[in-house]
Amino acid sequence: MHEEIQYLDLIRHLIDRGDYETGRNGATYSLFGRQMRFSLQDGTIPLLTTKKLAWKTCFRELMWFIRGDTDNRHLNAEGVHIWDKNASIDRPISGDLGPIYGHQWRHFGANYIDCNTDYSGKGIDQLQNVIDQLKDPCKRTSRRLIISAWNPVQLDEMALPPCHVLMQFNVRRGTHLSCSLYQRSGDIGLGVPFNIASYSFLTHLLAKHCGLVADEFIYTLGNAHIYEEHILALSEQVLRTPLPFPKIQIKEVHERIEDYSVGDIEFIEPYQSHDVVKMDMIA
């Protein structure tokens, strides 16, 4: 069975059986506790095919996280505007999103001043700690290869509390790297396709960087929901037949994880998809 069917079945299940709830930003159909698994073997990257996914935008956001960046202006300079609605909060520096993902990945525990501050050497660099262990044959089988974006002390300083909150990495047979992600809240229409792609890209990137082979992405959702405004568009999307997932390779190994870019991604089997499915982002 094509692995994208998991996603389409989840849409159908939410529309048919989801609980109608009114929350912080509107009405949703929701279910609690769902999981999907995607193979990353042989370079496979699960970019959903029943609608066109802006994978370059997704990868640029991922690299922004990896750099520890929290300045939305830097994303805008690369043509990425997915955080704009969350950046309209009252802050002294326009575009400062607070201690969101990148800050937690690279400087967990460091006091947050603003997006212009240099945090080098401050806090816990969770991502580098995982990389160091993945590169060490004696440590890569650890069951403690965990990165958390959920920092209760700084939640009120964030433009948006993290949705994808905890990732764990696992190496089997000394060579095959998998990532398991727990996401507390999943916008099935817009956010989830990006999250699947982003953490699959991250797993491929870490595998290449650490001399391993990408194996699997396991995706666990807490509150999975469809916004009422997205029902019509998703009802049309589920009628489409999935196409084969593309395959990629990363051209070379850079010295630092933050040095990779879109130009390092080469498709060895092309990304083919159905047309764009238009849905408005609900911040």
- In DSSP notation, 8-70 reads HHHHHHHHHHPEEEEETTEEEEEEEEEEEEEE-GGGB----SSS---HHHHHHHHHHHHTT--
Sheet (strand 164-172) strand order: 19-23, 26-39, 213-227, 176-187, 164-172, 146-148
Q: Which residues are catalytic?
A: 163
Longest CA pairwise span in the chain (Å): 51
Phi, psi at residue 219, to the nearest 5°? -120, 110
The CA dihedral of 225, 243, 278, 158, to the nearest 10 degrees, is 50
Determine phi and psi for 143, rounding to 5 degrees.
-95, 15
Q: Is 123 helix (H, G, I), strand (E, B) or coil?
A: coil
Among residues 91, 93, 40, 84, which one has the least CA distance to residue 199? 40
What is the C-alpha separation between 100 and 261, in angstroms, rounded? 21
Tokens of 257: 């994880």
Write the CA distances from 74 to 81, 117, 193, integer angstroms: 10, 14, 23
Q: How far apart are CA 31 and CA 17, in angstroms?
A: 8
174: which DSSP letter?
T
